[in-house]
Amino acid sequence: MVKVTALTKEEAENCPVRSVLTRVTGKWQLLIVLNLGNGAQRFGELKRSIGDVTQRVLTENLRTLERDGHLTRTVHPGPPLAVSYALTDRGFALLTVLKPLVDWAAENFDDIAQSRNLADQ
């Protein structure tokens, strides 16, 4: 088993598991990677396909995923100027790991919702 315990702030900052997972398992990062799994998308297309994300939050998350090498940003000359995003090989590898988790969530949602309702009563 990979060590995930950190007893100090320095250990937490240098933990590969914490460092990587905090950057790819957030709600928006997951949704971006899942959407780009269908192919490259322009910013507006991606925003529409996710729906409830603000422009600012989408931009921040795209920059983070690009910085970590999970996607590429391509500027297409205009007019009009267009920017598209696509998964890199690392991004597709991440998608293959995330897809089973997404499938599990969808398959277990009803049972989890029922458990939540019972716990809240």
Taking only the tens place, the pLDDT of each residue in 59-85 is 999 999 999 999 999 999 888 888 999
Residue in 34, 46, 50, 49 with CA at minimum distance from that of residue 96:
34
CA 43 to chain centre: 15
State the pLDDT at residue 89: 98
| Number of domains observed in the structure of the chain | 1
What would the two tokens of residue 77 be?
């000359």
User: Is 82 inside any structural domain?
Assistant: yes
User: Is 85 inside any structural domain?
Assistant: yes
- Enclosing H/E stretch for 84: strand 82-87
State the pLDDT at residue 5: 82
State the pLDDT at residue 3: 75
Whole-number mean pLDDT of the chain?
Answer: 92
Which structural domain range is residue 61 located in? 9-120
CA-CA distances (angstroms) from residue 31 to 11, 22, 25, 44, 109?
Answer: 29, 14, 9, 15, 17
User: Is 1 inside any structural domain?
Assistant: no
- At 95, which CATH number? 1.10.10.10
pTM score: 0.85
User: Is 115 inside any structural domain?
Assistant: yes
State the pLDDT at residue 9: 85
Taking only the tens place, the pLDDT of each residue in 15-61 is 888 888 888 888 899 999 999 999 999 999 999 999 999 999 999 99
